[in-house]
Amino acid sequence: MNVEDDIARVKRQENDLFLSRFDEAVAYDIGSAIRRRALDEGLSLVVDLRTWDRQLFFSATPGTSADNAEWVRRKINSVRRFQRASYRLVLERGEQPFSVQSGADPADYVIAGGGFPIRVQGAGIVGALTISGLPGRKDHGVAVDALCDHLSKVRADYALPETAN
């Protein structure tokens, strides 16, 4: 697959992986599943699920640091501002920091995979599911896998292909 194919796949993920509702119980179910996977597979990651006005779930597994929470904060800001997965920004723009002219200060925004918009049917994008700790494409994949599992969708139908990186 090339970059254009990856962008199309991420757009499909964003459009298809929407929830009928998003509340504390849903955030807990999705976040707990991600935490269990991380512990089972020995993945060091931070997971955050939130609406735009408050955090509903947060967890860190062994091997993470305060830096991961900071990456999460910046990814959330990028998802909220640009209304798309932060990995889609990587595919569309590359991983270079935002320019000064963009008004997206690199201290508060980042182009890196792992932030995924939480879309609720009939309401639009209401928050974000964000992962930090793995390479960006894999952070993105963990979020997509979790949404697929929660929605009883086949992971392989939405997964990005593995890369050499």
Q: Is residue 107 part of a domain?
A: yes
Q: Read out DSSP for 67-111?
A: HHHHHHHHHHHHHHHHTS-HHHHHHHH-SPPPPGGGT--TTT---
Q: Is residue 103 part of a domain?
A: yes
For the stretch 30-80, pLDDT in tens is: 999 999 999 999 999 999 999 999 999 999 999 999 999 999 999 999 999
CATH number at residue 117: 3.30.450.150
Q: Is residue 56 part of a domain?
A: yes
For the stretch 84-97, pLDDT in tens is: 999 999 999 988 88
pTM of the model: 0.95
Find the range with the poorest average confidence among 16-25, 49-58, 104-113. Answer: 104-113
Q: 87 is in which domain, residue-wise? A: 3-157
Provide the domain count of the chain: 1
Instruction: Point out which residues pair with 119 in neighbouring strands.
Output: 125
Residue 24's CB is within 10 A of a number of other CB atoms, namely 12
How confident is residue 11, by pLDDT bands cut at 50, 70 and 90? very high
Q: Is residue 163 part of a domain?
A: no
Q: Is residue 44 part of a domain?
A: yes
84, 117 Cβ separation under 8 angstroms: yes
Comparing CA positions, the residue from 34, 153, 9 lying closest to residue 88 is 9
